[in-house]
């Protein structure tokens, strides 16, 4: 897969990243519209609070993976490996909590019995099957909730899940499609399951795709759902 050639640089005011420390606060933006205080990247989901003296910035996952920001836990200075391990754990828990809360919010707003099943399924699997994703995403659209469907991981690795996606009607597949990574979309398209409407919007998916890929390429442990939650074939 071709890597993005866009170059990102630290804002001049940042100086030496080692002088900054994590507070361990994470902001999970379900509208995917946060910006990074280090590199200036916009349209971020997860940002991490870092401080230097009285200055506070929120930085993106990519910068977390790239720069040796300091971290202290229980009065002990962590090495960069321990910093990343701690961030990794916090991130995984934050993502789960965010998805759990988003489902509960939609559930509370609509008296739809099928959403209870989606909630139970998510809490058990920490991911959504294509059919559950379709139920949830169409409910989110009915409620007008400004939640980006990409916060959810949709299972497409197994043939059974691919076929489940393929068995959905066009509207349901279109509802799920934007939540899929470019790799997932390619896999489903190769099986003939891409919704017809996706071809019309191909440019939008392509524009969105690299945003997700850049973070994934630099810090796969944080952004690759498969590494957080193993999915059986
Ligand atoms: Zn950044």
pLDDT for 30-61, tens place per residue? 999 999 999 999 999 999 999 999 999 999 99
Nearest-5° Cα angle at 83, 26 to 232:
75
Query: Which of the residues in the chain have pLDDT under 50?
Result: 1-2, 209-233
Q: What is the DSSP string of 28-52?
A: E-TTS-B--TTT---SBSEEEEEEE
CA–centroid distance, 74 to ligand 1, in Å, is: 27
One domain for residues 79 and 130? no
Closest of 34, 36, 38, 35 to residue 14, by C-alpha: 38
CA–centroid distance, 124 to ligand 1, in Å, is: 33
CA–centroid distance, 212 to ligand 1, in Å, is: 13
Any domain includes 4: no
One domain for residues 45 and 76? yes
- pTM of structure: 0.77
Give me the domain span that covers residue 59: 12-89
One domain for residues 130 and 162? yes
Q: For residue 145, what pLDDT is reported?
A: 81
One domain for residues 98 and 135? yes
């Amino acid at each position: 897969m071709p890597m993005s050639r866009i170059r990102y640089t630290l804002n001049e005011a940042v100086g030496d990243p080692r002088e900054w420390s994590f507070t361990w606060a994470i902001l999970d933006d379900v509208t995917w519209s946060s910006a990074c205080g280090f590199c200036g990247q916009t349209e971020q989901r997860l940002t991490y609070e870092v401080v230097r003296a009285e200055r506070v910035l929120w930085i993106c996952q990519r910068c977390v993976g790239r720069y040796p920001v300091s971290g202290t836990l229980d009065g002990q200075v962590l090495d960069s490996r321990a910093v990343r391990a701690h961030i990794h754990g916090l991130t995984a828990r934050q993502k789960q909590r965010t998805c759990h809360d988003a489902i509960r919010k939609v559930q509370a707003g609509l008296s739809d019995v099928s959403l209870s099943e989606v909630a139970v399924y998510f809490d058990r699997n920490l991911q959504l099957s294509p059919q559950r994703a379709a139920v949830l995403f169409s409910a989110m659209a009915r409620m007008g909730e400004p939640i980006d469907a990409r916060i959810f991981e949709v299972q497409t690795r197994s043939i059974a899940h691919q076929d489940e996606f393929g068995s959905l009607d066009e509207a349901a597949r279109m509802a799920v499609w934007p939540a899929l990574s470019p790799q997932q979309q390619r896999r489903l398209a190769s099986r003939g399951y891409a919704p017809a409407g996706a071809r019309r919007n191909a440019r939008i998916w392509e524009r969105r795709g690299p945003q997700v890929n850049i973070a994934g390429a630099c810090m796969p442990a944080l952004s690759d759902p498969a590494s957080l939650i193993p999915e059986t074939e």
